[in-house]
Amino acid sequence: MKPTEADTRKTLNTAFWNTVANVLSLIVGTAMVPLITRVLSPEELGIAATFISTRNTASIIVSLAIYAFVNHGLIDYPSRHKDFIGSVAAFVGAAVFAALVIALPFKQQIQQLLFLDDFLFFWLFPSMACLALYYIAYYFCIFKNKTSILFWIVLCVGPVAQVVSVALAQLFHGYGQLGRVIGLDATYVVISIVLICYLCFGKEPARPNTSYVRAALRFTIPLIPHLFSQMVLTQFDLTIVTMLAGADKGGIYSMGHTVGNLAYTVMTQIMAAWSPWVYRRLRDGERDVVRCNCAVVICLGVYLSCGLITIAPEVVTLFLPASYADTTTITIPLVAAMYFQFCYLFLYDLEYYHKKAHWIAIGSVITAVINIGLNFALVPFLGYLSVSYITLLSYAILFAINYAFVTRLDVRATYRIPLLGGSLVFMVAFAFAMQALSSHIIIRYAIMVAMTVAAGVSLAPSLKPFLSNVRSGGTHE
Asked if 197 and 65 count as a contact pair (C-beta separation under 8 A), the reply is no
3-state secondary structure of 473: coil
pLDDT band (50, 70, 90) for residue 317: confident
pLDDT digits over 5-43, tens only? 777 778 877 877 887 887 787 777 767 766 776 777 767
pLDDT digits over 367-384, tens only? 999 999 998 888 888 887
Q: How many CA atoms lie within 13 A of 174 on its CB side?
A: 0
pLDDT digits over 391-434, tens only? 999 999 999 999 999 999 889 999 999 999 999 999 999 999 99
The confidence score (pLDDT) of residue 386 equals: 86
What is the sign, positive or negative, of the torsion defined by CA atoms of 179, 184, 188, 190?
positive
Asked if 291 and 415 count as a contact pair (C-beta separation under 8 A), the reply is yes
Flag whether the pTM goes above 0.85.
no
pLDDT digits over 141-196, tens only? 998 888 888 888 888 888 888 888 888 888 887 778 888 889 989 999 999 999 99
CA–CA distance, 272 with 101 (Å, rounded to integer): 35
pLDDT band (50, 70, 90) for residue 1: low
Burial class (CB in 10 A: 0-12, 13-18, 19+), 348: buried
pLDDT digits over 167-178, tens only? 888 888 777 888
